[in-house]
Amino acid sequence: MSGGSHFLQIPGPTNVPDRVLRAISYPTIDHRGAEFADLGRAALDGLRSVVRTEGDVVLYPASGTGAWEAALVNTLSPGDRVLMFETGHFGTLWAGVAHDLGLEVTLVPGDWRSGPDPEELERRLREDTEHLIKAVAIVHNETSTGVTSRLPHLRAAMDRAHHPALLLVDTISSLGSVDYRHDEWGVDVTVGCSQKGLMLPPGLSFNAISPKAREAAHRASLNRSYWDWAPMLEAGTKGFFPYTPATNLLYGLKEAVAMLHEEGLDSVYARHRRHAEATRRAVGTWGFETQCRVPEEHSPVLTAVVMPDGQDADALRAAILSHFDISLGAGLSRLSGRVFRIGHLGSLNDAALLGTLAGVEAGLRVAGISHRSGGVTAALEYLADTATPS
């Protein structure tokens, strides 16, 4: 306890706005009543508006990991081949889920510093002349590395290859903070969840579903019950759910979507791009590298910073947490101890970002890590030069 509010600057869960926290504290209501139906419809319509689809959405009381599973079990059959990409920790984890469910996974190796290569995707699909690959699964924003996949280019690659595989996209850490267009980009299943750009606590996840994916679901024979789209879609048309939904998080979802539209989705996305650039200017001034090495793929929602050789990222994070009450993201699996991650997604304004960066700069000083000072100054000058009045 040392005054003030904790700065939760991990790349999700994010700082939940107090409007949303209050919304989830509304009294729980009858999930079979007319009042609930209005809420259920509003929740599903809200998701549609953020995912940018006119199509189907199903919403689970579950973590994002559950929606990963849902995307697979509803569209695929035992032994089906899925093309996945080792973009980092989460791309690898999703491949593990697919494997556990009895699918054949081709995991395209990656360097954890860049997104899937559209040319490699095209080449691999062209080589699959028998169309054994039933689905291509891509993580939109790889939360472990701060790399955002170039989805429109990847979609174009699939189209050029004239390959019928479904396109499954994980938007877990991007949705609501990074531009995303389910329908326009021809995504078949979008996987998303509540606790990142949607500014909610964890506990909700969802799939947006293209007609082609829905068609595939009729043939898919992996066992499914909880994740089954069919009863969800049927009940959903009336705003209901086949089993008890997470009512109070739905209140929050409705409020969070309202907040996103009050600001305007395009403004929200611009805010995150601007915060990411400010963060990179601080990182560059300090003399550090970002884990992402492809300029067009820098994530708008988090920045993974590579520590100088011999320095322990976790010791730095611990120093920043204990001295300055700021949580940062750890390096995961192979990046453990080598990077730390600054989350700048969800509900965040310039002052809080600058407070975070100042805390990191102060932490570098406390931890005795050699760096150039002035990172925050660089960030604030960039923000000042690009600020617009409300």
Q: Which is nearer to a second copy, 126 or 219 (CB)?
A: 219
Q: Is 201 a binder of a second copy (CB under 8 A)?
A: yes
- Neighbouring residues of 326: CB distance < 8 A, sequence distance ≥ 6: 6, 7, 9, 320, 356, 359, 360, 363
Which position among 226, 240, 265, 312 is part of the footprint of a second copy (CB under 8 A)? 226
Cα–Cα distance, 67 to 52 (Å, whole number):
18
Cα–Cα distance, 232 to 210 (Å, whole number):
15
Tokens 């939904």 belong to 245
Which position among 18, 54, 130, 309 is part of the footprint of a second copy (CB under 8 A)? 18
Q: Which is nearer to a second copy, 108 or 362 (CB)?
A: 362
Q: Which is nearer to a second copy, 99 or 160 (CB)?
A: 99
Which position among 43, 193, 216, 339 is part of the footprint of a second copy (CB under 8 A)? 193
**Least distance (Å) between residue 207 CB and a second copy:** 14
Rg of the chain on CA atoms, in Å: 21
How wide is the angle at C-alpha 130 spanned by C-alphas 127 and 136, nearest 5°? 65
Q: Is 370 a binder of a second copy (CB under 8 A)?
A: no
- Helix intervals (H) in 264-312: 265-286
Q: Is 7 a binder of a second copy (CB under 8 A)?
A: yes
Which position among 21, 156, 233, 315 is part of the footprint of a second copy (CB under 8 A)? 21
Q: Which is nearer to a second copy, 119 or 381 (CB)?
A: 381
Q: Which is nearer to a second copy, 194 or 290 (CB)?
A: 194
Question: Which range touches a second copy (CB under 8 A), out of 147-155, 162-170, 244-252, 300-308?
Answer: 244-252
Cα–Cα distance, 135 to 137 (Å, whole number):
6
Q: Which is nearer to a second copy, 51 or 67 (CB)?
A: 67
Kindly write out the interface string for residues 316-345 of this chain, putting x where it contacts a second copy by CB under 8 A and - elsewhere: ---x-xxxxxxx--x---------------
Strand 81-85 versus strand 56-61 pairing type: unpaired
Give long-range contacts, CB 8 A cutoff, 24+ apart: 41-49. 41/238, 41/239, 42/254, 43/250, 43/253, 43/254, 44/236, 44/239, 46/253, 46/254, 46/257, 46/258, 47/192, 47/206, 47/208, 47/253, 47/257, 48/208, 49/257, 49/261
Q: Which is nearer to a second copy, 96 or 308 (CB)?
A: 96
ω into 13 cis (within 30 of 0): yes
Q: Write the burial class of residue 39 (CB in 10 Å: 0-12 exposed, 13-18 middle, 19+ buried).
A: buried
Q: Which is nearer to a second copy, 322 or 333 (CB)?
A: 322
- Structure tokens given for 375: 């990172």
- Structure tokens given for 90: 């989460």
**Least distance (Å) between residue 4 CB and a second copy:** 3
Q: Is 347 a binder of a second copy (CB under 8 A)?
A: yes
Q: Is 235 a binder of a second copy (CB under 8 A)?
A: no
Q: Which is nearer to a second copy, 27 or 109 (CB)?
A: 27
Residues 93-152 interacting with a second copy (rule: CB under 8 A): 96-97, 100-102
**Least distance (Å) between residue 271 CB and a second copy:** 6
**Least distance (Å) between residue 81 CB and a second copy:** 17
If phi > 0 it is left, if psi is from -120 to 50 it is alpha, else beta; for residue 112 that is left
Cα–Cα distance, 379 to 67 (Å, whole number):
36
Residues 55-74 interacting with a second copy (rule: CB under 8 A): 60-66, 69
Per rule CB under 8 A, count of chain residues that contact a second copy: 108
